[in-house]
Amino acid sequence: MRLENRPFLIVDDEPEICWVFEHILKKNGFTCQKALTAGEAITLADQYTFCMAFFDAKLPDLDGIELARQIRRTHPHLPVVIVSAYFYRDDITIEEAIKSGLVAAFISKPFVHDEIMRVIDLHAYIR
């Protein structure tokens, strides 16, 4: 399976975090589209077919869990990863989102670059 054929969606209100994701992905031969708000992400999701999405938990216009709900209505097979300094892996909100299948994984900030690639290896796929 060649993931390079489809971009990743990166959504974070901190441009520096988007840049870090882009750098990690490009270094590994992938492409991405970036959004600073949930509204921008929804627009991009309607324009592109993504292989995986990384959503910040706290965005200025919508939280990452609600963004995942909205995106999954029209893109039910898109793996979504929540990235957050606000939540922890054992937070009930995150546990329920993973258990229900709404999100594929959770990564806490700050993260290690290898952690991004590990999650991609485990959860990214193309339908």
> For the segment 68-112, what is each residue's pLDDT rounded down to a tens digit?
999 999 999 999 999 987 766 677 888 999 999 999 999 998 898
Q: Using one digit for the tens of pLDDT, what is the confidence trace for 8-21?
A: 999 999 999 999 99
Return d(Cα 62, Cα 17) in angstroms, integer: 18
Q: How many domains does the chain have?
A: 1
Q: What is the pLDDT of residues 28-65, one digit of tens each?
A: 999 999 999 999 999 999 999 999 999 999 999 999 99
Task: Round the average pLDDT of the chain to a whole number and report it.
Answer: 90
Residue closest to 22 by CA, chosen among 39, 37, 34, 40: 34
User: The domain spanning residue 50 has which CATH number?
Assistant: 3.40.50.2300
pTM of the prediction?
0.91
Phi and psi at residue 39, in whole multiples of 5°? -60, -45
Supply the range of the domain harboring residue 86. Answer: 3-123
